[in-house]
Amino acid sequence: MKPAYGADPNRYQFIPRVLVIVTHGDRVLLLRRSQHKRLWPGKYNAPGGHVELGEDPHQAGLRELVEETGIRVEMLHLRGLITAETGLDGSGVLVFVFRAEAKDVTLKASEEGQPMWVARSELSELDLLPDLPQLVELTLDQPAFFYLYKVPTADGGEMNRVRLIPRG
């Protein structure tokens, strides 16, 4: 059978992820990643994960938020997109970055890690994923929609470009 919608699998593709920045007052919801995680064990990140077949990105964000932290919200607001080159032949990473405000603050841990509420002023004391401070600022401290483009560099660093689009 021919693929629907003219889809051509030889095109450049993105592995889709979601990241959810949830606040309650001046606190941000973080997850200390389990020590057994393949990626970034023991580090602090916002909740998130992959978009799976059958989901739109909004559904994936709500699902990951509940699974990883026990927090249920009615809706998520898309605040920006991260596109990252990976070195893979033909596949980048695309991250949908959402924000939400929690009413209930009761947390529930999972195998993914330990969720916790952290005051903004204490974020810098934690072993955060490197891009989290920038993402928290882009999501919470300015109103424009953001596009963050990242390319790893040969020295182990990255090129990181931000484009801000005022709300229309």
77 vs 108 by CB, closer to a second copy: 77
Integer Cα distance of 137 and 102 in angstroms: 18
State in angstroms the smallest separation of the CB of 122 from a second copy.
Answer: 25
19 vs 30 by CB, closer to a second copy: 19
Q: Helices H, strands E: what count in the chain?
A: 2, 9
- Binding residues for a second copy, rule: CB under 8 A, are 1-9, 11-16, 38-40, 50-59, 75-78, 81, 83-88, 91-94, 99, 145, 147-150, 152, 158, 163, 165-168
State in angstroms the smallest separation of the CB of 111 from a second copy.
Answer: 17
User: Other CB atoms closer than 10 Å to residue 122's CB: what's the count?
Assistant: 10
Which residues does 28 contact at the CB level (< 8 Å), separation at least 6?
Answer: 21, 22, 46, 117, 118, 119, 120, 123, 136, 140
State in angstroms the smallest separation of the CB of 147 from a second copy.
Answer: 4
